[in-house]
Amino acid sequence: MAEPVISLRGVRAELGSRPVLRGIDLTVRRGEVVALLGANGSGKSTAIRTIIGQVPLSGGEIELFGTPRRAFRDWRRVGYVPQRTTAGGGVPATVTEIVASGRLSRARFGLLRKADHEAVRHALELVGMADRAKDSVDALSGGQHQRVLIARALAAEPELLIMDEPMAGVDLASQQVLADTLTRQVAEGATVLLVLHELGPLEPLIDRAVVLRDGCVQHDGPPPRALGQHALPGHDHVHPHSADAEPIRTGLLS
Amino acid sequence: MDILNYPFMERALIAAVLVGITAPAIGIYLVQRRQPLMGDGIGHVAMTGVGLGFLLNASPVWMATAVSALGSVLMELIRWYGKTRGDIALAMLFYGGMAGGVMFVNLAPGGSNANLSSYLFGSLSTVSQSDVTAIGILAGFVIVVTLGLRRQLFAVNHDEEFARVTGLPVRALNLLTAVTAAVTVTVAMRVVGLILVSALMVVPVAAAQQLTRSFAATLAIAGAIGVTVTVSGTVTSYYQNVPPGATIVLLTIAAFIVLTALATPLARRRARNAAAARPAGDPVECAIPATRGASDEVGV
């Protein structure tokens, strides 16, 4: 078995004073593509944001590449794609300027050399946005904007991609571009953890699905086959997904 | 140019150029992180520093720098740790700062609110040689930070969450932004005054972005607008005997209005060119994916 890239043990977190994560165990191994599923408010995004250090832990531990998260400094190995709504400033910025900020983890003192500019251009080519490099991000559609955010994460040439709802509000054409981009990254050995509302066009890529419900892991195993209503934990799973699946915690007995 | 024959005008013009560059240079980051009025808050806090300067017989510029830097760090801390009442804490800091300034000035021997007035509204004739030295040193700091660290500051103020994952010291950069804004307030204090300083941080940036698509161009044009209005405002103030701060701010707003009027046809032409460049048969963005079920539809 490959070594763990992300490992969460008994992770608890609170927003305000409301417990959002109530003891999550999650391991993502090198080369795996793991989808984090669950209804709104189940703790998917909070789980992601504890991993990157945006939300403080109230219990448990997180390791990235075998290093405790607090001591982890090798951020160039991680590419992060936040939910699109969190990004965006009050001043115009071009596609290139946004993507270049993803390269800062590899740039010394914030100075971008020729190779860095080359990597930024390459990242834009990967998501098919090279022809929009000089455009303002405000002029982009939702799907194009999402492609830019993925290029920004790819600019550092990371080994691990963490994505929060990359398909939310993305048009069909961009969904296909994103799926192709991700397929190529995975083929080249990238490890991926992504929050999804439904599997959608990424389904063939997903090795494993972790379903959260009320801040607990409800399912960890092969991705649920069904789409739509059936992919949501609100749906009553009366059939087991596989023989070695974790016992399902419905939250009714806790 | 008889105006340059007066040493006080020479000093005022040097200060004006430095203010014109530094105020928009830090202002752009405040606008970017959607805190455009932070400069205004720092201006209020700086009044306590000016008052302390009078009371302790120290340089009001340096005292204002120290107090407003402290105040800006406090504001940043309130932003981190403050929960729901953060805005109330900020209000108390702002008005406490203003009240402190009035109080200290009046406690100073022979002091009255009249001493404050040149700091509140700016005054050219009172800019001393030591003021110019202080403004020069402080402006140097602001320029080094805002231009030297522009990629880091851009990343942090554009998307703090992402910046954290690139390993940038997000908190340190936020503190540096706050302290730099405080320093800029005291740089601008002598020319435009504490009450109006925030306008010079925000309005040139707002005016510039009527024309621009990139951050770099916005920064450059905002700086150009800043220098143009501070220098022309200072000169106008000299010849017409009107207050410099008010003249500069009104000129900045005029520049904003003119650029906005010019920008409308420019934006139309850009949209037309973009439409022409786009290949026919581009997918329509608002098409509803036919294969996707409404997964969040709840049947009752």
Q: B14-49, pLDDT tens digit by residue?
A: 999 999 999 999 999 999 988 888 888 899 999 999
Between residues B11 and B294, which one has the greater pLDDT?
B11
Contact B178, B185 (CB under 8 A): no
Residues of B in contact with A228 (CB under 8 A): 293-295
How confident is the model over B143-147, as a mean pLDDT? 95
Pick A135's closest partner by Cβ from B32, B164, B213.
B213
Query: Mapping DSSP to helix (H, G, I), strand (E, B) and coil, where does residue A25 land?
Result: strand
The rounded radius of gyration (Å) of the Cα atoms in chain A is 18
CATH topology of domain A4-86+160-231: Rossmann fold (3.40.50)
Chains A and B: how many Cβ contacts under 8 Å?
131
Among residues A139, A154, A143, A126, the alpha carbon closest in space to that of A95 is found at A139
pLDDT band at A244 (very low <50, low <70, confident <90, very high): very low
Across A151-160, B11-20, B112-121, B163-172, least confident range? B112-121
Which A residues, 63 through 102, put their C-beta within 8 Å of a C-beta on chain B? 73-76, 78-80, 82, 86-94, 97-98, 100-102
pLDDT for A225: 66
Contact status of A52 with chain B (Cβ, < 8 Å):
yes
Dist. CA A224–CA A218, nearest whole Å: 12
pLDDT for A88: 63
Residues of A in contact with B80 (CB under 8 A): none
Angle at B59 between CA B115 and CA B132, to 5 degrees: 95
Q: Specify the pairing of strand A208-213 against strand A59-64.
A: unpaired
- Give the nearest chain A residue to B161 (CA atoms): A54
Dist. CA A83–CA A48, nearest whole Å: 11
Contact B46, B186 (CB under 8 A): yes
Residues of A in contact with B166 (CB under 8 A): 75, 101-102, 104-105, 156
Which residue has 């143009």 as its token pair?
B228
pLDDT band at B58 (very low <50, low <70, confident <90, very high): confident
How confident is the model over B241-256, as a mean pLDDT? 92
**In chain B, where the domains are located:** 2-197
- The pTM of the full predicted model, rounded to 2 decimals, is 0.84
Would you tell me how many other CB atoms lie within 10 Å of the CB of residue A194? 23
Contact B294 A92 (CB under 8 A): no
Percentage of chain A modeled with pLDDT above 90:
44
pLDDT for B251: 95
pLDDT for A140: 86
Q: A252: which residues sit within 8 A by CB, 6+ positions away?
A: none
pLDDT band at A232 (very low <50, low <70, confident <90, very high): low
pLDDT digits (tens, 9 = 90+) for A121-170: 999 999 999 999 899 888 888 888 899 999 999 999 999 999 998 888 78
What's the mean per-residue pLDDT of chain A? 84
How confident is the model over A17-34, as a mean pLDDT? 91
H-helix or E-strand spanning residue A14: strand A4-15
Distance from CA of B75 to the nearest CA of A (A): 20
Would you tell me how many other CB atoms lie within 10 Å of the CB of residue B5? 8
pLDDT for B254: 96
pLDDT for A113: 86
pLDDT for A86: 52
Contact A91 B274 (CB under 8 A): no
Q: What 8-state DSSP symbol labels residue A110?
A: G
Asked if residue A226 has pLDDT above 70, the reply is no
- Dihedral angle computed from the Cα positions of residues B163, B169, B171 and B173, in that order, rounded to the nearest 10 degrees: -90
Asked if residue B271 has pLDDT above 80, the reply is no
**In chain A, where the domains are located:** 4-86+160-231
pLDDT band at B291 (very low <50, low <70, confident <90, very high): very low
- Would you state the structure tokens that stand for residue B183, as one six-digit string? 């320093």
- Give the nearest chain A residue to B158 (CA atoms): A89
- How crowded is the C-beta side of B270, counted as CA atoms within 13 Å? 13
Residues of A in contact with B212 (CB under 8 A): 92
What's the mean per-residue pLDDT of chain B? 85
- Domain B2-197 listed as CATH 3.30.70.2190: no
- How crowded is the C-beta side of B185, counted as CA atoms within 13 Å? 36
For testing contact with chain B, the best of A17, A81, A91 (most B CBs within 10 A): A91
Asked if residue B293 has pLDDT above 70, the reply is no
| Cα torsion angle, B54, B55, B59, B63, sign | negative
For testing contact with chain A, the best of B31, B84, B151, B210 (most A CBs within 10 A): B151
pLDDT for B130: 87
Which A residues, 25 through 44, put their C-beta within 8 Å of a C-beta on chain B? none
Between residues B158 and A87, which one has the greater pLDDT?
B158
